[in-house]
Structure 1
Amino acid sequence: MQTEGYGPVIVWPKKFTPGTTDNYVSNEVVVKGLTINDVWPLLTHASEWPTYYKNAANIIFHKKGETELHMGTRFKFTTFGFPVESEVTEFQPSVNGGPARIAWHGWVEGDAQHHLDVHHAWLLENLPGGRLRILTEESQIGVPAQQLHNTLPNPMLNAHQLWLTGLVQAAEQAKQ
């Protein structure tokens, strides 16, 4: 999907349309010297996340022996202190240099005060001039999401920026 003048955008399930949920954040970086191929393996190997993003821990794949995300992968991880069950709902590696996409639906079971429902999406796009665009957006529903939204600065916005920074640094180090 492309919106004129903006390049590829996140594809949202209707339930998680930004502006209709309890909390939504968007983070983006454009860096020189990296490509989708440099970043994609770090993003799709979820067990590597804690090495460059301290807000992700305890990554467990439901299927024994799995270590890499793909369409339909079920996994669990801890973030913001929440144990989040997740399932990959979009998985599109780059084809011929085109954009790459990955998204997962995540949820935290619990009573009305603790239940959380999220959609977290990533878009990687090679740009002219040897640049890479990395976009990550998340939309959340539930009381914990309302609490994040009402906290300034928004902890999720800051944490996702740290995730982007760590991802870029890890990719740059891997290239050296």
Structure 2
Amino acid sequence: MTTQNAINWPEKYLPGTGDNFVSNEVIVRGVTAARVWHHLTDTSTWEAYYDNVADISFPQGGGPELKDDQVFRFGTFGFPPLDAHVVEYQAPAQGTPGRLSWTAKQDGGPQERLDVLHAWLVEDLPGGRVRVLTQETQIGAPAAALAQERPNPMLNGHQAWLDGLIRAASGQPHAGA
């Protein structure tokens, strides 16, 4: 029997307890967890393979590589730049999945406030395969509104991120290029 690793969820963001939750996963051949990890954690590559991210900055210095306890900002899904904080960082190693999670927040009144946890799991699988799982829990009125849209912009946006990430890790050009 084969079991798959899962995201480590803080209780506050447990799937199904917020206003929006999405889960996307790919399992592909021909790329390694290390290559995927590079493109996931080096934010200078994000805009080259994912169209729904912009204005990445590091207000406390550091970057462009993410690391444990890193603070950064980025815009996505039309929101003003979100204040993000890496809360879990573990590079993939033999027999150990890579884990990356960040919280992202937008302050404001009750209709603007947003609080999310975006988590990633990257692991090599037998047979030269890699598995990339990304899940996000969102809390707040903007999240509730996104959850009602069809097609679901978060689900589709995260799938585009995964697809672009795999293309970049495989050395393939951006789909829009």
Q: TM-score, normalised by structure 1?
A: 0.93
State yes or no: 1:64 paired with 2:61: yes
Spell out, residue by residue over 1:60-101, the C-alpha distance to the aligned partner (whole angstroms, 9 max, x if none). Answer: 012334211000000000001111100000000123352100
Which 4+ runs in 1 deviate beyond 3 A?
Answer: none
The answer to whether the aligner puts 1:38 opposite 2:30 as a matched pair is no
Kindly provide the amino acid, as one letter, of the partner of residue 26 in structure 1.
Answer: S
Pairing 1:51-130 to 2, within 5 Å after superposition = 51-82=48-79, 83-130=81-128
Per-residue deviation at 1:5?
Answer: 5.0
Cα distance in 2 for residues equivalent to 1:87 and 1:64:
13
Q: Partner residue of 1:26?
A: 23
**d(CA) in 2 for partners of 1:96, 1:126:** 8
SS at match of 1:125: strand
The residue type equivalent to 1:152 in the other structure is R
Q: Counterpart of 1:157?
A: 155
User: Percent same amino acid among aligned pairs?
Assistant: 50
CA distance in 2, matches of 1:52, 1:168: 9
Q: Distance in 1 between matches of 2:49 and 2:95?
A: 25
DSSP-derived class of the 1:98 partner: coil
After superposing the two structures, state which structure 1 stretch, 58-67 or 87-96, moved more: 58-67
Q: Which segments of 5 or more consecutive residues in structure 1 lack a partner in the other structure? A: none
Cα root mean square deviation, aligned? 1.3
CA offsets per residue over residues 48-71 of structure 1, 9 Å max, x none? 211100101000012334211000
Which blocks of at least 5 consecutive residues in structure 2 are unaligned?
173-177
The 1-side partners of 2:142 and 2:3 are apart by 31
Q: Which residue in 1 is equivalent to 2:175?
A: none
The answer to whether structure 1 residue 48 and structure 2 residue 27 are counterparts is no
Specify which structure has the higher proportion of strand: 1
One-letter identity of the residue aligned with 1:110: G
Supply the distance in 2 between the matched residues of 1:64 and 1:104 (Cα, whole angstroms): 17
